Every structure is written in C-alpha cells, then in structure tokens.
Chains A and B, each alone.
Chain A
Amino acid sequence: MRYPESQERLETEKGKTEMYLTVRSVLELIKRIIDEENLELDLTDQGIEGLLSFLNNPEEYVEDAGICEKVRALNELLAMLGEGGVTLGIR
C-alpha cells in the first residue's frame, strides 16, 4: 500500500527552512550537553554536512581548545553508542 502524494508544489523554500531548524535544534542540544550554551555558532547555512563536520573537526569552527576537546569526546561517545559500539564490543 502506498501513501497518496499531493499535486500541489508550493513548499520548497518552506521545507528547506524547516530542515535547517532541525539542524539548529541538534546544535542547541550539543551545546547543552557539552555545557557551552553560550557558544556562538550557527550551522544553519551549512546544513547537515556542516553539523557532521563540526562533530568530526571542531577546530575548524571553534578556536577554544577546551571546547574542541569536549566536542571530540562527545563525537567519540556518539560513535560508541551507535554502530561503533557493536564493533568495539561494548554492547
């Protein structure tokens, strides 16, 4: 069974904006977890690729070495909580 699709084509820009909002909400969550809620960083223009790149290479986005270290640690933990955990034998 398939879902019907509407014939209207009104939404392209709106959809784009909403997706960027989702990237923003992930970034806000990251800032909260690393306890850097005041960090001024906005990746909305770079979308999902920017977000993933920030987690992998924070030094390209932030100068503060302490923050970079926290982001790298968080990225490592995310990998362990995801598929990486299976290969590393911790789950």
Chain B
Amino acid sequence: MNYWPCLERGELPLVFVDCQKRFIELFSRFTCIDQQRLADYLADGKHNVIDLLQRPHDIANNERELKAIEELRELRNMYDILKSYDRDFRIKSPQDAYNYFRAIHMDRQDKEYFTALFLNTKNIVIDVKITSGTINETKIYIREIAKDALFKNAAALIFCHNHPSGDPTPSQEDIRLTQRLNEVFRFFDIAVCDHLIVANESYVSLLERFGSNFGVMEEPAEYGIGEKIARAQEQSRAYSAAARSREEIAR
C-alpha cells in the first residue's frame, strides 16, 4: 500500500529524507564510516538500519569501524536492558527468561553468543556474561562461569545461546553441555534453572523439554538405597581386610 500517493514509488517523504540524512550523519560520526558509503548501503533497497548492527561486516571496512559498530550495538542493548530493568522484576519462567534474552540476542545473529544470567536468591538478575563464538559454535569455559558465579554470590543461573541458522532445536551437544553445567554447579549449591536456545523470534527451553534433570537418566531402579548400602558395606569390608593383611605382613 502506498501511504504517500503524491510521491513516486520508492521516493521518501521529505521529513523521512531529512531524518535519514541526520541518521547517516550521526552514525558516521560515531563509527567513522564514510557518509556516502552509508547512504549507498541504505539506498540499495536491500538493507536497513538494523542490518548495520546485525551484520557489521557488510559495511565496515576495517577493524576500527567494526569495533565502533559493535560498541554502539552493545550500548543499545545494554540501554534497552537497563530501561526495562526493574528491581522487583523476577525471572520466574522460561517466557520471562526469553523476554530478557531477546533484548540481548536480538541484534546478535551473525554468530553464536552464549549468555549466562546470574540470579540472586529471589531470581532477580544480578549480572550478565556474554561470550561470542563462531558462526556455529561457542567455546564455553565452565570454570570461568563458575568463578564469576561464586564471585557474584549467585544463587541460580540461566543460560542462553542463539542459533544463527534460525532453528532453535537443541543439538546433542547443547543437551550434553547443559547436563554438564547442571552437574558442575550442583557441587556449588548453585541451581541451573534453564538453558534457552533462541533463534529468530522463537526459543526452546531445555527445562520445558527435558525437565529439571535436563535429560540425565535417573539411576536405574534396581540400584535402590538398600543395594547402595550393601555395596558400600562390601567395599568397606574389603578395605578393612586389605588393611589387616598389610598390618600382618608388616609384623
């Protein structure tokens, strides 16, 4: 539908043209990207302002320009999060978590980003840690997350990463990683509430899909508590017998 029937197809109303000019001027000022290059990029009919942030490699010619765009993107995301931050806002469900992560991951679709959300005992966010990877994988250093979680006195964690492919279906590697994180943080009494995978406008919560054990099989029923005690007693008797025989040999 043409909202501006007095204009030729593709032509913008003057107020918008002025606005775009101002945008180019400002964007160029903070990123040092040539104004003409920005104007050409936005005028080709294929790109818009969001593309500038989502695919900085398309427009940036050098590391300096790339870094400047990434900083602007970072600021815009942080600003959005801070604006929506409410001290009483608690992340109570996968949907709450998705709403939070969406603001962080919205403009990060060029490669994989892994985000850890540190929560206090009331499920209020106390900090966020973002690590980036390549187009299809991110290296996760569990000890770094553990160090931060302990330093920040976090009571719980929620993890999230994006799939640049657009399909949020968890891979086997995603499931294994979540199980491992759950296992590690259990030792520190830090709950791993969930691991979300986001892609485009959708997400998958591993908690919803697999339950709080994230798909780890419970111990088989035949290994009940009685059998565990019996095995422990048997081991204990074996150790005692070995110790006695060592003492006899020594004598």
Q: A-B pairs with the 7 shortest C-beta distances?
A: A6-B121, A91-B49, A18-B126, A77-B26, A11-B120, A89-B16, A3-B193
Of all chain B residues, the one with the shortest Cβ separation from A12 is B120
* B150 contacts partner chain A, Cβ-Cβ < 8 Å: no
Chain A positions 1 through 22: 1 when the CB is less than 8 Å from some CB of chain B, otherwise 0: 1111111111100110011011
Give bound CA distance, A51 to B97, whole Å: 24
The answer to whether B76 and A3 have CB atoms under 8 Å apart is no
The answer to whether B50 and A8 have CB atoms under 8 Å apart is no
Give bound CA distance, A25 to B81, whole Å: 13
Secondary structure type dominating chain A contacts: helix
* B186 contacts partner chain A, Cβ-Cβ < 8 Å: no
* B1 contacts partner chain A, Cβ-Cβ < 8 Å: no
**A25-B78, A91-B49 known; A8-B16 Cβ under 8 A:** no
Chain A positions 71 through 86: 1 when the CB is less than 8 Å from some CB of chain B, otherwise 0: 0011011101110010
* Residue total for A at the interface (Cβ-Cβ under 8 A): 41
List A contacts of B68 (CB < 8 A).
Answer: 33
A89 smallest CB distance to B (angstroms)? 4
Give bound CA distance, A6 to B123, whole Å: 8
Give bound CA distance, A77 to B120, whole Å: 34
B4 smallest CB distance to A (angstroms)? 10
* B147 contacts partner chain A, Cβ-Cβ < 8 Å: no
* B231 contacts partner chain A, Cβ-Cβ < 8 Å: no
* B155 contacts partner chain A, Cβ-Cβ < 8 Å: yes
Chain A positions 21 through 46: 1 when the CB is less than 8 Å from some CB of chain B, otherwise 0: 11101100110111000000000000
